[in-house]
């Protein structure tokens, strides 16, 4: 006869001043109720004492979260609603991460008209990598702040005169990079494909300032094809939507990096718009450059999405669907079967490069 092992519940208490307890609890204790669901524990509060009881791991996580938030308040840190969600991510993402260290050690960057700070541990690693490395390659779903944080860091380095120019490039794959057939002058042809980059610039730096800097060619936004044959010195160069580059285009871009320059390459390897028989340059770069000195790789997952909560759930649902399909495909291959023509999403699925802050503005 076997006996089921049981885990004895754990109990802990946190002492804070009553005003801090009321703030952390939220209206009608709604925040404490959320933490109870999140960590599978019971939370009680009387005066300045908060009692935690339940699963030992949950109690430990809640203690790190609530205790850390309480210490931040005691130190005079002004917590916003978005900061509270960020603190949850920090605790859930790592059993060793300190909420206090995350916020006090993040160092928001003055991206122009607003301060921009990381909203997850991976965003913090990403921002630090852009300071420490000449080439940073990041992959992950939309909404994880890849482009936004890169533009903010570039604007900061531009303001500090660590670089002289900011260059943003993007493959116009929807037009096949063959823009001659489109009506209008060059700007009118390419602007629809570059609009997301302009949006980030305007939000972080401001429309008027960006316009003046573009007139002086301090800021340049262009299709990737226009990078050919150039050497870009003393520049902060951002390649967005890099999953839609070919290996040849990626090599061309990376060899544009000149003296005093640094580059950031961003993309989502699960959203490839290339023909189904064409390999993604982003995936190729991951394989060729991984382990090379001076190159950093940062991988984001659905938990790093910092847009609307619904977006995070949507990204997670699609990721789970893709995982199920991969398991089904593996089972069929092992059984010698075939599943249709082997394609999903008209050549969109190239596999995942890894799944796994602010004005403070949310980096999205």
The predicted-structure confidence for 89-110, as pLDDT tens digits, reads as follows: 899 988 888 999 888 875 556 5
The CATH number linked to 94 is 3.30.1370.10
Query: 152 and 69, same structural domain?
Result: no
pLDDT band at 186 (very low <50, low <70, confident <90, very high): low
**Residue 265 scores a pLDDT above 60:** yes
The enclosing domain of 170 has a CATH number of 3.40.50.300
**179 or 230: which leads in pLDDT:** 230
The answer as to whether 349 is a domain residue is no
Instruction: Say which residue, 341 or 165, is predicted with more confidence.
Output: 165
Residue 68 lies in a domain: yes
In this prediction, residue 345 carries a pLDDT of 43
User: What one-character-per-residue DSSP string does 200-245 give?
Assistant: HHHHHT-HHHHHHHHHTTSEEEEEGGGGTT--B-SEEEEE-SGGGS
Higher pLDDT, 88 or 363: 88
Same domain? For 47 and 141 the reply is no
Judge whether 30 lies within some domain: yes
Tell me which of 177 and 79 has the higher pLDDT: 79
**For residue 170, what are the domain limits?**
109-309
pTM exceeds cut of 0.85: no
> Could you tell me if 151 and 251 lie in one domain?
yes
Alpha-carbon distances, residue 127 vs 276, 305, 327 (angstroms): 33, 16, 34
Q: Return the pLDDT at 215.
A: 94
Residue ending a domain, among 104, 122, 153, is 104
Same domain, 71 and 171: no
Asked if residue 178 has pLDDT above 60, the reply is no
Domain end residue (candidates: 262, 289, 309): 309
The CA distance from 8 to 108, in Å, is: 42
The mean of the pLDDT values for the chain is: 84
pLDDT of residue 72: 93
Q: Domain count for the chain, please give it.
A: 2
More confident residue, 260 or 320: 260
pLDDT band at 363 (very low <50, low <70, confident <90, very high): low
Asked if residue 111 has pLDDT above 50, the reply is yes
Closest listed residue to residue 88, CA positions, set 133, 35, 164: 35
Q: Is 291 exposed, middle or buried (0-12, 13-18, 19+ CB in 10 A)?
A: exposed
**Cα atoms in the 13 Å half-sphere on the side-chain side of 146:** 27
Kindly state whether residue 249 falls inside one of the protein's structural domains. yes
pLDDT for residue 344: 39
Q: Last residue of a domain, which of 261, 282, 309?
A: 309
């Amino acid at each position: 006869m076997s006996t089921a092992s049981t885990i004895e519940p754990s109990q802990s208490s946190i002492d804070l001043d009553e005003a801090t307890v009321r703030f952390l609890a939220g209206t009608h204790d709604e925040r404490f109720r959320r933490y109870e669901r999140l960590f599978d524990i019971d939370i009680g509060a009387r005066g300045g004492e908060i009692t935690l009881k339940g699963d030992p791991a949950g109690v430990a996580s809640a203690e790190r979260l609530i205790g850390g938030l309480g210490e931040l308040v005691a130190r005079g840190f002004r917590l916003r609603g978005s900061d509270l969600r960020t603190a949850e991510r920090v605790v859930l993402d790592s059993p060793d991460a300190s909420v206090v260290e995350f916020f006090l050690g993040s160092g928001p960057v003055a991206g122009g008209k607003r301060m921009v700070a990381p909203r997850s541990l991976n965003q913090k690693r990403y921002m630090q990598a852009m300071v420490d490395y000449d080439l940073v390659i990041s992959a992950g779903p939309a909404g994880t702040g890849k482009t936004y944080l890169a533009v903010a860091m570039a604007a900061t380095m531009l303001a500090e005169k660590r670089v002289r120019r900011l260059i943003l490039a993007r493959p116009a794959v929807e037009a096949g990079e063959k823009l001659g057939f489109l009506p209008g002058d060059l700007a009118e042809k390419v602007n629809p494909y570059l609009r997301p980059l302009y949006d980030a610039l305007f939000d972080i730096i401001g429309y008027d300032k960006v316009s003046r800097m573009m007139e002086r060619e301090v800021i340049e936004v262009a299709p990737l094809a226009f990078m050919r044959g150039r050497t870009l010195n003393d520049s902060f160069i951002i390649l967005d939507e890099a999953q839609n580059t070919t290996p040849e285009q990626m090599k061309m871009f990376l060899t544009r990096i000149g003296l005093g320059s640094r580059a950031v390459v961003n993309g989502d390897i699960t959203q490839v718009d290339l023909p189904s028989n064409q390999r993604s340059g982003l995936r190729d770069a991951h394989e060729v450059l991984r382990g090379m000195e001076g190159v950093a790789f940062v991988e984001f997952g659905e938990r790093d999405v910092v847009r609307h909560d619904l977006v995070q759930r949507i990204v997670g649902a699609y990721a789970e669907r893709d995982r199920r399909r991969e398991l089904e495909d593996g089972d069929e291959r092992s059984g010698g079967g075939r599943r249709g023509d082997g394609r999903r999403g008209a050549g969109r699925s190239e596999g995942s490069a890894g799944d796994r802050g602010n004005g403070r503005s949310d980096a999205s």
